[in-house]
Amino acid sequence: MGEPAPRRETVIGKVVLILRAFTVDRTTLTFSQLHTRTGLPKATLHRVAGDLVHSGLLDRVDGRYRLSGLVFELGMRASVERELLEVALPFLEELREKTRETVHLGVREGTEVVYVAKVGGHRQAASPSRLGGRMPLHATAIGKVLLAHAPAEVRDRVLGAIRTRLAPRTITNVDVLRTQLDAVLEKAVAFEHEESAVGIACVACPVFDAHDTVVGAVSVTGPVTRFHPASHVSAVRAAAAGITAALARRDHDGDTAVPPSGTKPWS
């Protein structure tokens, strides 16, 4: 639901199918596994995979395929995520030191959260998030922030198709979630209580660019046995506000964007 389906009849569509077959959990795949995951005819898959190896987008080692270093290099050139990550890392580290818990930075892709940074806390929590991994927007605090600020068509699409339960307390009631999203817009903070995984709680705040558009969200996560999200709101807001201000300064210094045009909810 989070990504548009590639057009299987085109060469690019076949390439995308193959590249997407690799996940955070499955970084190497056999030809048979690629065939199962892509559904491409074997002859077609063999030809396209061979071309990807020849072009340097895939590596083939001991009969198994994996994404190459070139894919990572190209991914790091994605300007928005790279700039956001470069600016955010000092604030994420500081937030981790203040809270001693796991800190995340996430962005929205379609109807999913993509975690672009995860800084492990001094007291590790068994969070289901993975660096580079994806989660549905409605099931996490970061996701709720991003969903609340998403375009109306994205919000309507998610609210109209909530079926995925990651845990017993995942919110699938549209009215309840809609009320929470309205509160996120009003208070610039979102909470999660065992909705992505049993035993996990989380608090998240939005990060804005110089155009007052939400480009990501920061969160702190911990186990419900000792972690109280409300007590960390100020720290998460401060980190998000710091990243927002740093993005605005960088854009202003580079004359690539106008300064923020409005007062943020926490100002």
Q: What's the pTM value of the predicted model, to 2 decimals?
A: 0.70
Residue 98 CB: number of other CB atoms within 10 A?
A: 16
* pLDDT attached to residue 25: 72
pLDDT in tens, 32-86: 999 999 999 999 999 999 999 999 999 999 989 999 888 876 766 655 567 788 8
Q: Which tokens in the block code for residue 35?
A: 């065939």
* pLDDT attached to residue 102: 92
Chain region(s) in the chain for CATH 3.30.450.40: 78-253
* pLDDT attached to residue 261: 31
For residues 99 and 232, give the distance between their C-alpha atoms in angstroms, rounded to a whole number.
7
* C-beta of residue 180 within 8 angstroms of C-beta of residue 173: no
Q: Which residues of the chain have pLDDT under 50?
A: 1-2, 255-267
* pLDDT attached to residue 239: 96
* pLDDT attached to residue 208: 94
Q: Please identify, in words, the CATH class of the domain defined by 11-74.
A: mainly alpha
Q: Which tokens in the block code for residue 255?
A: 């004359």
Please name the fold of domain 78-253. Beta-Lactamase (3.30.450)
Left if phi > 0, otherwise alpha if psi is -120 to 50, otherwise beta: which for 56? left
